[in-house]
Amino acid sequence: MPSDNKAAERFSATMLNRAFVQNPVLVGALGLCPIAGGAVSLQAGLVLSGAFTTGMMLNMLAAHFVLKKLPRWLRMPAYVLIALAAVCPAGYILETRAQTLLSSVGIYLALMAVSSLISLRSEKTFVACTLKRSFSVAAAECAGYAAVIMAVSFIRELLGSGTLWGVPLTKVYFAPGLLLPFGGFLALGFLAALHRGYIARHFALRGALKDITFDLSAAAGPLITPAADIPERKQAPPAPAAEKPPETPVTQPADETDGQEDTQASDTVPVPGEAPAGEINGNENEPEDATSDTQAQQPGGFAVTPFIQAADTDGETADETPAQERGDAALEDEETPDEKAQTLPADGGEIEAFTDEKSDEAAPGEPEAQPASKDREGGEAP
Amino acid sequence: MSWFFDLLSAALYAVFLQNLLFSGGFGTTEAIRTAMTPRRLILFAGFISYFSVLTSAVCRMLDDVPAVNALGWAAHTAVFTGVLAAVYLVTACALRFGLKASRRFLTTAGIAALNSLVLALPLMNRGTAAGLADSVGTGLGSGLAFILAVALINAGLKTLAKNKNIPRAFRGTPVMFVYVALLALALSGFSGGRFFS
Amino acid sequence: MPEPEKRVSLAPAAAAARRYYTDALIMLSGPVFMAVALYRFEAAILLAVSIASALACEALGALLLKGGQTTVRDLSAVFTGAAIALMLPAGASPLLAAAGSVFAVCAAKLPFGGAMHAPFVPAAAGMAFLCVSWPEKVFTYSGVSIAAMLQVKNSIRLNPLNLFDLLLGGYPGPMGTGCIAVLLACSVYFLIRRRRALWAPLGFLMACAAMAALFPRVYSGSLTSVVMELSAGSLVFAAIFLLPDPASAPSGRASGFLYGVFAGALCMLLRRYGTAEEGVFFAILIVNAFSAFPLPKTAGRLILRVKALVLPGKTKKKEGAGHAV
């Protein structure tokens, strides 16, 4: 049936986009605590993945059926208590049957109840979307998160303990220091680099990979600047003509909106002279309703310059801080637009993942985005 | 006065000697996101301290109750998480209905309350058999530890933002993770080991 | 007529890095010579393995990450490998040196685009990793080291014989850092070639000496404490070779001096309260993290302003960031 095929395609696209391309950990930097501290062995990783998946699914159902009726400030603790329903049974089972494994995982299993990824996804997607959509997003996020946890667990157990699944391996020179949290972050860094390189080589994205981090072109201001030292408010650098956002409003699929606002509450300013679109960088075209103010004046005479130039996207009242803080915006109670089909092309290499309506035009100096099956000129080495 | 020195030493320990974020990875998601846009850092850190102190104190007092102390891991986790949720709800109600706080303010309070850094403290304090003064001190120190972590990450990211030589595969979150890893390595000189397991 | 071969020259930044590391390697030849003279084959193997590992990682990283654009020619990998080997005991396994070099290059250098852009000193990061992972192997020597004595509050008698042994590396310790006389002689080269780079080590050593004098770990007096603390472990070596790293240390006099003072205070705190016998590597990493703040620069400017008020007309040009390599 055509509708079944379409639904299957949509599910596949969501899985590929959310679980892999826009991985919540490697791109969004969400849910880091259990990975950095608790993922020290494959068994621990499996326990953490299982607790996370169960918590996410329970929250998906609860948010969709019940919690959407509550105000946000009541929903937030509800997510934690519902995730507890996954954590406590897991902990009880380990306490009665595998005490050593519980000691290995430690408090990081309990901290799954307050996972930022579960709360964020519940608030952004599960409350607002259909059940089918919520399920596909939840499944994708769980798959992506579990994959990262297991990968980090594998690396750290092999290189940090010299074992695999608790079985000692002979002639393996291991570094116990990698079992510390810094080892987890290091493993995440190299995994993220591998992921980024793979995406750059095999996926011709029509926009840039949404990234939580900094605008490479802008020299960000200090953390806190005394009022007397503040220069005149700087406007964002104007985008080159080819990269300017279109005049017509940008419409985007629901999941792209979610991904956009999860990892980046507001789009960064375009980067003049930066690498062309299709390379993996953190820069996006600014939506047309974004302001270009880069500094928010706080009461008390200090201006805390945002690290990246956040766009004001939700029309706040005058007495509120104009620019949107990413953490808050990610949990803003916005209606998610109806989902739009996201289809994979037949060759499977191109993903219509992002908002740029100009994506059909090549940025200056860049070959047009092409499916991965064709050779790309100027293809970047990771 | 010994309780004051216990409190102070616990706070300094949580900030410097064993920074909770870098030694245990607690609250790093929030720290990284706040480091990107540190506009509400002081408010956020203040909320973290507030919720940490209250939750740690209440949980520590509950642990003195024999019935609660005898509970297993799962029940203890449920009790401590319930305490955290209750502290947040009471605070949110006071903010919402008493002070007519805005939606954004409540959201900030919620994110600050319901994160791994705040919930980790009572669990750690139980594991180390910390007293009330130590628990309160660690709670106070958690906010300062958060500020220190955010400041270090923000400063580092500013440096990295100016670096055009970062390989393409590492631009963005990869190099940020590596930078945070090296920060954690630097601060492990004091602790030298896993903070809590 | 065949065209003459084109010589591929280094970019200016890479050429500047090569000049700096060439100078550093020339200075390093002294400790290398002493290490090989004292420990012979073991030292040579350790140095060779460490340098080869660093070079291999650098070359592989350049191939994978930069599409062939290499930073091997700036000699930073050679310096990193040699420095790590010299800070290890002579009896250490070559694999230990290799692990340290691999970590230093892969984690602290390549992701940031090379040594001149690394926010943390790679050799310090490599040694910190070794200290955290294998502390028993990094701090195991053929006898009782000065650092071990300080940890248990033992002291030595300050007579000419012991002093002579201290200066010439007669006590057990890392294979390239014990001979203080050679290290100080090598720093004269820096004094001639890169005078500005010595402000940070000067501040560092003064802070360490002050902390040792004010808060001694031994009971035989401040002077003994100062002598023992300065000659223990890799303190002087790290001060001369690691601290003035051009990518992370400020270049100005005042800011460099304050940077060194901060690092010295941290080092002594870590020696006293840290878990590892030697805290200088962690101190350098921490101060690298803090150097991203404008605080040292701000403090340096403050000092210059005070100086301009006190001594008008003698204020020098404003300090910039980064060494002139």
Side-chain-facing half-sphere of C146: CA atoms under 13 Å: 28
Please report the pLDDT score of residue C254 as a whole number.
86
Of B29, B77, B185, the CB nearest to A88: B77
pLDDT level of residue A378 (50, 70, 90 thresholds): very low
DSSP C183-205: HHHHHHHHHHH-GGGGHHHHHHH
Q: What average pLDDT does range C190-201 have in this prediction?
A: 84
DSSP C206-225: HHHHHHHHHS-SSSS-HHHH
Q: Quick check: A265 pLDDT over 90? A: no
- For chain C, give the percent of residues with pLDDT over 70: 88
Write the pLDDT tens digit of every residue in C264-322: 999 999 998 888 888 999 999 999 999 887 665 656 666 777 777 777 766 555 444 44
Write the pLDDT tens digit of every residue in A80-139: 999 999 999 999 999 999 888 998 888 999 999 999 999 999 999 999 899 999 999 999
Write the pLDDT tens digit of every residue in B130-140: 888 888 888 88
CA distance B143 to B52: 8
Neighbours of chain A (3+ CB pairs under 8 A): B, C
pLDDT level of residue C122 (50, 70, 90 thresholds): very high
Interface residue A225 vs chain B (CB under 8 A): no
**Chain C residues lying within 8 Å of A177, measured CB to CB:** 129, 132-134
pLDDT level of residue A141 (50, 70, 90 thresholds): very high
Q: Quick check: B41 pLDDT over 80? A: yes
Q: What average pLDDT does range C184-198 have in this prediction?
A: 83
Neighbours of chain C (3+ CB pairs under 8 A): A, B
Q: Taking CB atoms and an 8 Å limit, are C67 and A193 in contact across chains? A: no
Q: Quick check: A241 pLDDT over 80? A: no
Q: Taking CB atoms and an 8 Å limit, are C113 and B155 in contact across chains? A: no
Q: Taking CB atoms and an 8 Å limit, are C132 and A186 in contact across chains? A: no
Please report the pLDDT score of residue A149 as a whole number.
97
CA dist list (Å): A342 to A6, A289, A339, B173: 9, 25, 9, 26
Interface residue C103 vs chain B (CB under 8 A): no
Determine the distance in angstroms separating the CA of A310 from the nearest CA of chain C, rounded to an integer.
Answer: 22
Q: Taking CB atoms and an 8 Å limit, are B156 and C119 in contact across chains? A: yes
Q: What average pLDDT does range A308-323 have in this prediction?
A: 35
Write the pLDDT tens digit of every residue in A22-63: 999 999 999 999 999 999 999 999 999 999 999 999 999 999
Q: What average pLDDT does range C43-55 have in this prediction?
A: 95
Contact A245, A317 (CB under 8 A): no
Q: Taking CB atoms and an 8 Å limit, are A177 and C133 in contact across chains? A: yes
**Chain B residues lying within 8 Å of A297, measured CB to CB:** none
Please report the pLDDT score of residue C84 as a whole number.
96
Interface residue C274 vs chain B (CB under 8 A): yes
Determine the distance in angstroms separating the CA of C2 from the nearest CA of chain B, rounded to an integer.
Answer: 36
Beta bridge pairs of residue A167: A164
Interface residue C138 vs chain B (CB under 8 A): no
pLDDT level of residue C68 (50, 70, 90 thresholds): low
pLDDT level of residue A288 (50, 70, 90 thresholds): very low
Q: What average pLDDT does range B107-121 have in this prediction?
A: 92
**Chain C residues lying within 8 Å of A189, measured CB to CB:** 111
Q: Which of A213-222, A352-361, C305-314 has the highest mean pLDDT?
A: C305-314
Average pLDDT, chain A: 66
**Chain C residues lying within 8 Å of A178, measured CB to CB:** 133
Please report the pLDDT score of residue A319 as a whole number.
35
Q: Taking CB atoms and an 8 Å limit, are C65 and A380 in contact across chains? A: no
Q: Quick check: A312 pLDDT over 50? A: no
Residue A168's identity, in one-letter code, is P
Interface list for B 133-162 with C (CB within 8 A): 151-152, 155-156, 158-160
Please report the sign of the dihedral spanned by the C-alpha atoms of residue C217, residue C221, residue C223, residue C228.
negative
Q: Quick check: B46 pLDDT over 50? A: yes
Q: Taking CB atoms and an 8 Å limit, are B123 and A110 in contact across chains? A: yes
Interface list for A 173-212 with C (CB within 8 A): 173, 175-178, 180, 186, 189, 193
Interface residue C112 vs chain B (CB under 8 A): yes
DSSP character at residue A212: S
Question: Among A26, A30, A94, A111, which would you mutate to test the B interface (most chain B Cβ atoms within 10 Å of its Cβ)?
Answer: A111
pLDDT level of residue A212 (50, 70, 90 thresholds): low
ipTM attached to this prediction:
0.91
Q: What average pLDDT does range C152-157 have in this prediction?
A: 82
CA distance C165 to A189: 46
Angle at alpha carbon of residue A303, lines to A300 and A306, rounded to 5°: 140
Please report the pLDDT score of residue A311 as a whole number.
36
Contact B34, B150 (CB under 8 A): yes
- Write down the pTM of the prediction: 0.79
Please report the pLDDT score of residue A382 as a whole number.
31
- For chain A, give the percent of residues with pLDDT over 90: 35
Of B165, B168, B186, the CB nearest to C289: B186
Contact A324, A310 (CB under 8 A): yes
Write the pLDDT tens digit of every residue in A58-79: 999 999 999 988 988 899 999 9
Chain A to chain B Cβ contacts (< 8 Å): 286
Neighbours of chain B (3+ CB pairs under 8 A): A, C
Determine the distance in angstroms separating the CA of B20 from the nearest CA of chain A, rounded to an integer.
Answer: 11
Q: Taking CB atoms and an 8 Å limit, are A189 and B188 in contact across chains? A: no
**Chain A residues lying within 8 Å of B71, measured CB to CB:** none
Own/partner contacts of C155-162, CB < 8 Å, gap of 24 or more, are C155/C218, C155/C219, C155/C220, C155/C224, C155/C225, C155/C228, C156/C224, C156/C228, C157/C220, C158/C220, C158/C223, C158/C224, C158/C227
**Chain B residues lying within 8 Å of A200, measured CB to CB:** 168-169
**Chain C residues lying within 8 Å of A175, measured CB to CB:** 99, 129, 133-134
Determine the distance in angstroms separating the CA of B129 from the nearest CA of chain A, rounded to an integer.
Answer: 15
Question: E strands along chain A, which residues?
Answer: 163-164, 167-168, 204-205, 225-226, 296-297, 302-304, 350-351
Write the pLDDT tens digit of every residue in C6-27: 455 556 777 888 888 998 999 9
Q: Which residue of A has its CA nearest to B114?
A: A114
Residue A163, SS3 per DSSP: strand
Average pLDDT, chain B: 88
